[in-house]
Structure 1
Amino acid sequence: MKTAQRLGNLGTETSFRVAQDAAEWKARGNEVYPFHLGDLNFPMAPHIVEAMDKAIRDGKTGYCPGPGIPELRAALADDIGKRRGVTIDPAEVVVTTGGKPVITKFLQVVMDPGDGVLYPSPGFPIYESQIEYLGGNALPYRYVPTADGFAIDLDHLRASIDDKTVAIIYNDLQNPISAESTEAEREAIAAIAQEFDLWVLSDEAYFEMRYKGRSKSIAALEGMRERTVILYTFSKKFAMTGSRLGCAVAPREIAEVISTLNTNDESCTTHYVQWAGIAALQGPQDEVGRMLEVLRKRRDATCSIINSIPGMSVAVPGSTFYVFPDVTEAMEAKGIATLSEFSTEALHNTGVSFCTREHFGRRQDWEDRSYIRLAYSGIGENDITEGLGKLRDWLAQG
């Protein structure tokens, strides 16, 4: 039977395919060092678990308002606003089943078929997937390597804009490359958005996953609140990936439409999970600090070993829990032509499982270097050292 033609434009988060390959390799009795998925091997804090359990015991298991329960919307408005230096009305907050739905709902609200949307490349693959699935024109903008990591090529971004471009997706503290904008870069993106009258989706999933300094939101810049939708998620900071809780912070007219989309799509976000979200925001933050300290040690171990491997190099990121090393020379020395072959051979020879640049949107014509992404969020420090040591030894064999 016939299916919809638009399904041909639907991509996916292909890192889950890497996870399947790793699981199959492990099932055959092999050791696997899991650097592939950006999940966290930390438990939810006990007070969050207790709040969820209490909500279930109290009967908060039925339907609730589509935009979220008032108590959580108010808590989110207060916390997100204070941390970004902006005033947020709870009516501008719409609770969602994780951060990912905000991407699709933002595009549904601001983009008609044929409109252009700028998105980072490499970047979270759902950006490209949803733009194209909804009939938009996906306009990738590129990053250039620097001594500190990567920077947006602002000239290339500007040159990609035409009279059909309606929005830009901006992911400061970026997955997969861990790039963080300078103040000047953030201000330049804001200026471009205002000059060309673009909506902005500010994906702030990793806003508080940082090891020094303080994050800033593009929404706090002059003239940006009225054109910016913030994507917020509980998944990273509170290790609540499976709970599926997040929100959109949007101008009120946009928030109202996203709320309507909620009602159409899933009715509401799970009621008792929302009470856990309140506990996460308003309860003790000790577990967050401890998790970040563990992640910092994992980052340091990962980067130290990578930079000791001939043909591999990476800048030490100040945020997220990913590194994006250049492996061009390492592949050449090994006689490996493609990233797909490199990842398979690495898994089978060392047990190290990782994603590659190809898992983060379509590779572009301008790219002449090869990169992989290692997530250290779900692997302990000892396994990091052991696994990457095996990778180094394998590559040294020539």
Structure 2
Amino acid sequence: MKLASRLDNLGTETAFAVAAAAADWKAQGHEVFPFHLGDLDVPLAGHIVEAMNAAIADGKTGYCPGPGIPELRAALADDIGSRRGMSFGPDEVTVMTGGKPVITKFLQAVMNPGDEVLYPNPGFPIYESQIEYLGGHGRSYRYLPTDDGFRIDLDQVRDAITDKTVAIIYNDLQNPISAESTDAEREAIAQLAIEHDLWVLSDEAYFEMRYEGTSTSIASLPGMRERTCILYTFSKKFAMTGSRLGCAVAPAQMSTVFSTMNTNDESCTTHYVQWAGIAALTGTQEPVADMLATLKARRDAACEIVGDTPGMSVETPRSTFYLFPDVTEAIQIVGARDVGDFATQALHATGVSFCTRNHFGRPQPGEDRSYIRFAYSGLPEEQIRRGLGGLRDWIGSHA
């Protein structure tokens, strides 16, 4: 029996493949420091748990409206709008089972087979996977290292736009490289979208996961609201990764389509989880502040050790919970064949497990530096210091 040929185009979130190798090494009796997966070890805030349990006890365990319960849509419209200097109505909010469905449903709504969509590379691998799975052609754009962090190659973006281009995926506060657009870069992307009449998926999963400064949504720029879909998720800010709750904020025309897609795909988002989302948005924000303080301490510890590691260099990010160090010289120091071999050797020698640049999109022509990603969101500071300290010492022993 044959399966559909489009399955050949379906990728995956490659961090899970690294997790499998780390789990196998751990099963053999070795200690593992899991820097590969961007999950959070922070417990779910008590008032969110109480709201979820109360909703279950109240019988909110059946079907509910496909686009989300009205109370949550209103709370999301108010919270997301106020934090972006905008005003949204509940009819522009469609609740979904996390942030990933927003990617898929956005592409289904705007892209026909054969259309082209621009996406960041390195970037979240589900972008590329879903574009190609749904019959589109992905055209990736790169980031260039500068003295002030990574910057989008705007010339490449301009050159990539054709008469078949229908949309651009834009991830400010970016996974995996933690890059944040300057005002000028954000405005340049917006201008290109307007000039070429493109839809924009603005992935804002890390909009509030920052240690200093303030975030700006591309949707708030002139001429962008009517062409932008904001991806929002509860996973990061509220440590609700397993709860699977997020939403799309989009023009009413697109939101209506999303609602119909929800009904076709999963009927509705889990009813009682939505009440937990309301509690997260409207209740005390002290757990969020505490989590950010914890993550900042972890970031500082990780940056200190990575910066002291032979053959590694990294910028200190102001947001997300990732480091993306250049390890080109470190690979040479330990005599690894390439960045993949370096990762395997590091796991076996030190127990430190991490993703490489190659897990976030196919490397582009001309890339001559090697990078890896450390996610420090799931390890206490003591484990960060012990794990990365061991990695530093291992590399240093070869220097």
Q: Aligned letter for 2:346?
A: A
Q: Aligned letter for 2:72?
A: L
Tell me, yes or no, if the aligned pair for 1:39 and 1:378 is still in contact at 8 Å.
yes
Tell me, yes or no, if the aligned pair for 1:148 and 1:316 is still in contact at 8 Å.
no
Work out the CA distance in 2 between the residues paired with 1:113 and 1:3. Answer: 19
Aligned to 1:160: 160
Tell me, yes or no, if the aligned pair for 1:117 and 1:138 is still in contact at 8 Å.
yes
SS in 1 for 2:95: strand
Aligned to 1:310: 310
- Of 331-340 and 316-325, more deviation after overlay is shown by 331-340
Aligned to 2:131: 131
TM-score (norm 1): 0.99
Tell me, yes or no, if the aligned pair for 1:147 and 1:315 is still in contact at 8 Å.
no
Aligned to 2:107: 107
How far residue 363 of structure 1 moved from its aligned partner, in angstroms, is 1.4
Q: Aligned letter for 1:291?
A: M
Query: Do structure 1's residue 143 and structure 2's residue 143 form an aligned pair?
Result: yes
Aligned to 1:220: 220
1:362-389 per-position Cα deviation (integer Å, ceiling 9, x unaligned): 1111211100000000011111111111
1:310-334 per-position Cα deviation (integer Å, ceiling 9, x unaligned): 1100000000000000000110122
Aligned to 1:116: 116
Work out the CA distance in 2 between the residues paired with 1:366 and 1:118. Answer: 19
SS in 2 for 1:95: strand
Aligned to 2:41: 41
Aligned to 1:347: 347
Aligned to 1:32: 32
1:155-176 per-position Cα deviation (integer Å, ceiling 9, x unaligned): 1110011000000000000000
Q: Aligned letter for 1:42?
A: V
Query: Do structure 1's residue 276 and structure 2's residue 276 form an aligned pair?
Result: yes
Q: Aligned letter for 2:19?
A: A
SS in 2 for 1:208: coil
Aligned to 2:357: 357
User: Which residues in structure 2 correspond to 1:1-398 (within 5 Å)?
Assistant: 1-398=1-398
- Of 190-199 and 362-371, more deviation after overlay is shown by 362-371
Work out the CA distance in 2 between the residues paired with 1:53 and 1:40. Answer: 21
Tell me, yes or no, if the aligned pair for 1:117 and 1:166 is still in contact at 8 Å.
yes
1:130-177 per-position Cα deviation (integer Å, ceiling 9, x unaligned): 000001110000100012320001011100110000000000000000
Q: Aligned letter for 2:140?
A: P
Q: Aligned letter for 2:364?
A: Q
SS in 1 for 2:140: strand
Work out the CA distance in 2 between the residues paired with 1:250 and 1:68. Answer: 14
Work out the CA distance in 2 between the residues paired with 1:381 and 1:397. Answer: 24
Work out the CA distance in 2 between the residues paired with 1:146 and 1:298. Answer: 24
Work out the CA distance in 1 between the residues paired with 2:301 and 2:78. Answer: 36
Work out the CA distance in 1 between the residues paired with 2:127 and 2:155. Answer: 21
SS in 2 for 1:397: helix
Work out the CA distance in 1 between the residues paired with 2:267 and 2:289. Answer: 34
CA RMSD of aligned residues (A): 0.6
SS in 2 for 1:362: coil
Work out the CA distance in 1 between the residues paired with 2:111 and 2:297. Answer: 42
Work out the CA distance in 2 between the residues paired with 1:245 and 1:388. Answer: 33
Work out the CA distance in 2 between the residues paired with 1:366 and 1:187. Answer: 27
Q: Percent same amino acid at aligned positions?
A: 73
Could you list the runs of 5+ residues in structure 2 that have no partner in the other structure? none
Structure 1 residue runs of 4 or more that deviate by more than 3 Å after TM superposition: none
How far residue 245 of structure 1 moved from its aligned partner, in angstroms, is 0.1
SS in 1 for 2:142: strand
Work out the CA distance in 2 between the residues paired with 1:300 and 1:261. Answer: 43
Work out the CA distance in 2 between the residues paired with 1:366 and 1:253. Answer: 41
Tell me, yes or no, if the aligned pair for 1:198 and 1:227 is still in contact at 8 Å.
yes
- Of 331-340 and 303-312, more deviation after overlay is shown by 331-340
Aligned length: 398
Work out the CA distance in 2 between the residues paired with 1:364 and 1:352. Answer: 27
Work out the CA distance in 1 between the residues paired with 2:265 and 2:243. Answer: 18
Q: Aligned letter for 1:147?
A: D
Q: Aligned letter for 1:186?
A: R
Q: Aligned letter for 1:52?
A: M
Tell me, yes or no, if the aligned pair for 1:105 and 1:258 is still in contact at 8 Å.
yes
Work out the CA distance in 2 between the residues paired with 1:226 and 1:86. Answer: 12
Q: Aligned letter for 1:180?
A: E
Work out the CA distance in 1 between the residues paired with 2:224 and 2:86. Answer: 11
SS in 2 for 1:122: coil
Q: Aligned letter for 1:106?
A: F
Q: Aligned letter for 1:305?
A: I
Tell me, yes or no, if the aligned pair for 1:98 and 1:245 is still in contact at 8 Å.
yes
How far residue 250 of structure 1 moved from its aligned partner, in angstroms, is 0.5
Tell me, yes or no, if the aligned pair for 1:200 and 1:227 is still in contact at 8 Å.
yes
How far residue 262 of structure 1 moved from its aligned partner, in angstroms, is 0.5
